[in-house]
Amino acid sequence: MFNMFKKKEQTQQQTAPPPLPIQQQQQIQQQPPNAPTQQPATKGSMFKGSLKVKAQPLQTQEIQQQQPLPQTQQTQLVQTQSNSDIISPESDAYKQQYNQVETPTPQDESNLEQKIEVKINVEEVKKKPTGFGFLKKKQPEQPIHTDESLQEQVESQIIYGIQVKQNQVQEVNKQQDYNHEQQSQLQNNSPIQLKEQSTYDDSNKQLQQQIDYNEKEIEQQYQLQQQQLQQQQQYQQQLQYQQQKQYQQESKLLQSTSPLKNSLMNKNQINQNQINSQLDNSYVKQHQMIMEELEYFQSEVNQKKAQIYISQQEIEKRITSYQQQLQDCNSHLTQLSIEQQVCVQQEQFERAEEIEQSLKQIQERITQIDNLIKQEEQQYTKLQDEKENIRGEEYPFYQETEQKLEEIERLHIKYSDQYRFEGQNQIKKLQQHIEEENERVKIQQIHTEIDSKHLDEEEQHLNQIMDNQTKEYRIEQDQLISKKSNLESEIAELQQLLNQKKNELQKVNIDLLSTKEKIQSVQQKFNLQLGKVQNKRTKLNDELSSLATERAQIETLEGDSLRKQNEYKNKLQFLAQQLEAIKYKRNELIKKANLVPEQCQQELDVTFKYQEAKKASLEALKELAQVQRQIDELNYKRNMGQTQLHEILNKKSELQKQLPKMIDDKALLVQNKNFKGAAQINEQIKEVQRQITLYEEKISENQNIETQIIKDIDKIEDSFLTRQHQYQQLQQNTEICRYFVLELKLQEIQQIDYFGLSQLTQDIKNELGQLFNKYQDLIYANRKVSTDNLDQIQDHQEEVNNQFIENEQEQSQEQNNHEEQIEQVINSNQNEQIQEQEIVVEMSEEQKQSYIEGQKYHYYELQQQIKQLEEQVQDYAQKEQYEEADQIQQEVDRLTSQANTIQLELQQKFNVDSLMVEQEQN
């Protein structure tokens, strides 16, 4: 970059003509430009901003090579810029910012600097659309053509203005130095010197007027430059407006001629920037419609089921009432039948007729009640069929809804995968773009630092050259200053030699001024190059600040990337939750659909068992009523026979009381020889005796009948008890079946979301509680799977597990204790062995020999015991008594250990190796 600037300056210095007068420059500037000038965006930056510069930037070779584009290429450029989301330098917001050029004003003797102000249009950056749209393929930016001659002319004017300013500053400095030097000579001013002083004052005023005039000209030149730049800006805007208008006309023509081509052109952009919104909206709306339809269907089904359950409960209550009335009628009918028989036997025919009429009415009432029960049962069956029809509608609806939800789930998975794929691609593109921007900024930072180093080297080189070229002058200047001070001191000391030294002093002043002019001319020669270096440094600083701004914007872009990644993750999490909800609803519908036939079959089985048990119970109740009626009739006959027997006994007793008196009367008549009267009484006596005999026969007959009735009653009572027990069993079975029917009904009602079932639910719960308390054991026995049993099994399993854990802990603790005991035994044995070793050391030869013999004998006994025990082990093993064999084997191991200990002791302590030989000899 530094070489480019340097080459450009060299070519300008070689080829540029000397600066024209200011009037001619103004005439040239008032001429309209051939083409507007516009600075292109730096290195394709994606950020949009405005640059306000108080010094016109130098032209580079890249800008000089730019040529105006043809009309077709300009149209394509406008089209690519309109399709891209990247803010280009040709936008309206960018056009509002322009380059402003100002010439520096002299503030002090050595302060000449050029200020660069960078302004980033933050509003335009904020208006940049969020999302991944800016990842579209960036079209290459076409440079805008500029007028090189006008640019060089403006640059020469700026250089000329800088030179004029520097000359003015030098003149002012000279005048100030001269005035300072003349102050020391004011005391001895001669008329000639006063005249020279006035001449210098007039020249100073003229010089100041010339400086003011030049400043006004420079001001006017600056204003003209601003107007010129504004005209260029307006011209560029008009040109771009014409290009956009032409592009709109061409696009309208393309749309009118070939809509298919237009759709194909936009297809790629739609696929890249949108996530199939049609798929999203369609299946989401379809899912909502399916769920609304499902909720509506379930609410209607629940309402119908609730009404059916309520109607069935009312029918059951009415049937129960009718059955109670039927039992009352049957019992009343039995009583009236017995009463009618009594009346017939007592020949109370009118009362028997009344009872017959009552019996007919009761029979009609029984028939009527039977018909009502049949009607209610038919209505109950219709409601049951209606409920089965509803379930029959539920099953296909749930299957169809489940299939729809399966399709929705498939679309949701497809949409989630598509969103995940596109989101990952967009995030990758965004990260790649950020990395590219970072690399670009890093490379540009490196180039800028290199350029800064080159500028420092150039500045140092120029300063070194300037110092080298002014070294002799500065030395001479120091010598002259020293000489001047010496002379001044001599003048102070030697007032009388003042006139002699004036000429010499004037000559020294003239030489000093000429030397200063030489130094200033050399400085002026290098000030222009130093100014250019300073301009380049200012540009580099401006570029560094723009790089910092771009880096901050990249960091903002990275923050947006992280935010979009979080949004992407949250969206994926939300889609996963929706998928889980859809799967859960599908599984629920599958369970419901599978539960419908299962519930139907279960309800049919339970209801069939309940109806069969109820029917059997009613049949047993009828048979029990018939047996009870037979018992009542027999008891009635027995009571009637007892009553007749009592009457016969009373009559017999009366006749037996009359018979002795009649015999006495007959004897008295015979004694009185009234044979006729005696014959009559005798006939009466015979009649009484015959009656007594008949009564006795009747008594015997009644007693036989009563005995037979008692036997019949006993038989029938046995049958009654059997039937009563059977009825109780059937009734018990019926109530248990009733419990399961109510339990199943309660489960189905609890699944129904309907507000009018609270009272029905409470009634069913109360009845279930009564039946459960009454038949708790039987219900547990008849239930196939019970939650209570499961809880008990789980509790039992937990107890077993806890007990198993406790046993393991106890076993581990016992094992640890056993190991500790073993360690203690081992330690004690070791201590005993140590003690024995100590004792052995203290033993005498005789004691050692006796000790060895005793240990050998003990070893021999152990071997004998081991052989016997091994034989026992083999015997038990042959008999398959493995537990006893294991116990004996443990004892064998223990004895073997002891024998081995003795053998080792004798071998190590006493060097005895012939234990087995001595045992055989013994």
Average pLDDT on 639-655 reads 82
Please answer whether residues 389 and 301 qualify as being in contact, where contact means their C-beta atoms are separated by less than 8 angstroms: no
Task: Give the domain ranges of the chain.
Answer: 1-266, 789-842, 846-922
Residue with tokens 């029960």: 373
Q: In this model, does residue 667 exceed pLDDT 50?
A: yes
- Residue range 796-820, pLDDT digits in tens: 444 544 554 565 456 556 545 545 5
Distance CA 245, CA 239 (A): 10
Q: Which of 630, 643, 594 is nearest to 709 (CA)?
A: 630
Q: How confident is the model at residue 593 (pLDDT cuts 50, 70, 90)?
A: confident
Q: Which of 892, 909, 894, 893 is nearest to 855 (CA)?
A: 909
Q: In this model, does residue 789 exceed pLDDT 80?
A: no
- What is the model's pLDDT at position 779? 76
- Identify the top-confidence range among 205-219, 238-252, 888-902: 888-902
Handedness of CA 773, 775, 780, 782 (dihedral sign): negative
Could you tell me which residues come within 8 angstroms of residue 305 by beta carbon, excluding any fewer than 6 positions away? 387, 390, 748, 752, 754
- In the chain, the largest separation of any two C-alpha atoms, in whole Å, equals 240
Distance CA 423, CA 503 (A): 93
Handedness of CA 349, 351, 357, 363 (dihedral sign): negative
Q: In this model, does residue 568 exceed pLDDT 60?
A: yes
- What is the model's pLDDT at position 62? 37
Average pLDDT on 347-373 reads 87
- Residue range 391-415, pLDDT digits in tens: 888 888 888 888 888 888 888 888 8
For residue 122, the Cα-to-chain-centroid distance in whole angstroms is: 37
Let me know how many helices (H) and strands (E) the chain has, helices first.
Answer: 20, 2
Please answer whether residues 148 and 64 qualify as being in contact, where contact means their C-beta atoms are separated by less than 8 angstroms: yes
- What is the model's pLDDT at position 279? 47
Q: In this model, does residue 6 exceed pLDDT 60?
A: no
809 — alpha (psi -120 to 50), left (phi > 0) or beta? Answer: alpha
- What is the model's pLDDT at position 465? 84
- What is the model's pLDDT at position 287? 84
Q: In this model, does residue 837 exceed pLDDT 80?
A: no
Average pLDDT on 607-614 reads 82
- What is the model's pLDDT at position 820? 57
- What is the model's pLDDT at position 596? 74
Q: How confident is the model at residue 825 (pLDDT cuts 50, 70, 90)?
A: very low
- What is the model's pLDDT at position 854? 79
Q: How confident is the model at residue 245 (pLDDT cuts 50, 70, 90)?
A: low
- Residue range 668-707, pLDDT digits in tens: 877 776 767 777 888 888 888 888 888 888 888 888 888 8
Q: Which of 770, 688, 760 is nearest to 736 (CA)?
A: 770
- Identify the top-confidence range among 147-156, 374-383, 696-705: 374-383
Please answer whether residues 49 and 95 qualify as being in contact, where contact means their C-beta atoms are separated by less than 8 angstroms: no
Amino acid found at 56 = Q
More confident of the two residues 91 and 199: 199
Q: What is the mean pLDDT of the chain?
A: 69
- What is the model's pLDDT at position 40? 39
Q: In this model, does residue 224 exceed pLDDT 80?
A: no
* Percent of the chain predicted with pLDDT > 70: 63
Please give the DSSP secondary-structure letter assigned to residue 914: -
Q: How confident is the model at residue 158 (pLDDT cuts 50, 70, 90)?
A: low
CA distances to 173, 611, 718 from 725, rounded to whole Å, are: 143, 20, 11
- Taking residue 888's Cβ as centre, other Cβ atoms within 10 Å add up to 21
Q: In this model, does residue 295 exceed pLDDT 60?
A: yes
CA distances to 369, 421, 446, 454, 547 from 540, rounded to whole Å, are: 114, 43, 12, 11, 10
Least confident segment among 466-475, 789-798, 908-917: 789-798
Q: What is the DSSP string of 390-418?
A: HHHHHHHHHHHHHHHHHHHHHHHHHHHHH
Least confident segment among 28-37, 437-446, 693-702, 828-837: 28-37
More confident of the two residues 115 and 650: 650
Q: In this model, does residue 165 exceed pLDDT 80?
A: no
- What is the model's pLDDT at position 663? 84
Q: In this model, does residue 350 exceed pLDDT 80?
A: yes
More confident of the two residues 53 and 597: 597
Please, which residues bridge with residue 51 across strands? 118
Q: What share of the chain is helix, strand, coil (3-state, %, to 5)?
A: 85, 0, 15
Distance CA 633, CA 367 (A): 24
Q: In this model, does residue 38 exceed pLDDT 50?
A: no
Q: In this model, does residue 19 exceed pLDDT 50?
A: no
Q: In this model, does residue 735 exceed pLDDT 80?
A: yes
Distance CA 23, CA 221 (A): 10
More confident of the two residues 827 and 454: 454
More confident of the two residues 145 and 765: 765
